[in-house]
Amino acid sequence: MLEIRRLVLLRELAIRGTIAAVAEALNFSPSAVSQQLSLLEKETGMTLLRKAGRRVQLTPQAEVLVQSAGEVLDTVERAEARLQASLSVVSGRVRVAVFQSAALALMPATLRAMAARYPDVRVEMVQREPEEALRETWARDFDMVIAEQYPAHAAPHHPGLDRRPLTEDAIRLALPAVEAALHPVASLPEARTMPWVMEPRGAASRHFAEQLCRRTGFEPDVRYETADLQAHIRLVESGNAVALIPDLVWAGRDTSCRLLDLPGLPRRTIFTAQRLAGAASPAARAFRDTLEEAAATRA
pTM above 0.75, yes or no: yes
Q: What HEC string does 202-267 produce?
A: CCHHHHHHHHHHHHHCCCCEEEEECCCHHHHHHHHHCCCCEEEEEHHHHCCCCCCCEEEECCCCCE
Rounded to 5°, angle at Cα 102 from 98 and 105? 140
CA dihedral angle for residue 187, residue 192, residue 197, residue 200, rounded to 10 degrees? 120
Contact 267, 257 (CB under 8 A): no
pLDDT at position 215: 95
Contact 49, 10 (CB under 8 A): no
pLDDT at position 62: 95
pLDDT in tens, 183-228: 678 889 999 989 999 999 989 999 999 999 999 999 999 999 999 9
pLDDT at position 181: 57
Ranges of the chain with pLDDT below 50: none
pLDDT at position 186: 83
pLDDT in tens, 235-246: 999 989 999 999
Residues 170, 179, 228, 110, CA torsion sign: negative
